[in-house]
Amino acid sequence: MNPSDDSLQPTPTEEELSQPSSSMREYYQLQRTLLLVTFTMAGVIFVSVWSFYSLNIALNYLIGACTGVVYLRMLAKDVERIGSQKRRPSSTRFALLIGLIVLASQWQKLHILPIFLGFLTYKAAVIVYILQSTLSPTSK
């Protein structure tokens, strides 16, 4: 028999194939944490904006925050596919923000600044996560 024969290699079971590696489990945990922090921040900021400004401005913020969550999910899917596919990440995510800003500039009920700031909520969630993991006494 040839020593390089693939039949000598143990074949992984279906359970092993369906279980993500530890690094992927960490990635999925990070993804869930970022989404949870983004939703929490968006809720708190939405209520704050509503109490200090108006419901219309708060809803504009919420539209932007929801778009930011969709953008974050699309980004996470692209990052997840990087290891399995040899192509560049999709740039269609940017069309989402551009389309929303164009819509806001054309429709009188929408305001660009609250929508854009709402969109950036996911970035604030990333900063909060980084600060939390850096300043945490249990960080690696």
* Domain range list for the chain: 21-134
- Count of beta carbons in the 10 Å neighbourhood of residue 13: 9
Mean pLDDT of 14-34: 74
Residue 10's pLDDT band (boundaries 50, 70, 90)? very low
Residue 80's pLDDT band (boundaries 50, 70, 90)? confident
Residues 60/66/70/76 CA torsion (nearest 10 deg): 120
Quote the CA–CA distance of 54 and 59 in Å, as a whole number.
9
Residue 87's pLDDT band (boundaries 50, 70, 90)? low
Is-above-0.85 flag for pTM?
no
What does R_g of the chain's alpha carbons equal in angstroms?
21
Mean pLDDT of 39-58: 94
Quote the CA–CA distance of 73 and 92 in Å, as a whole number.
13
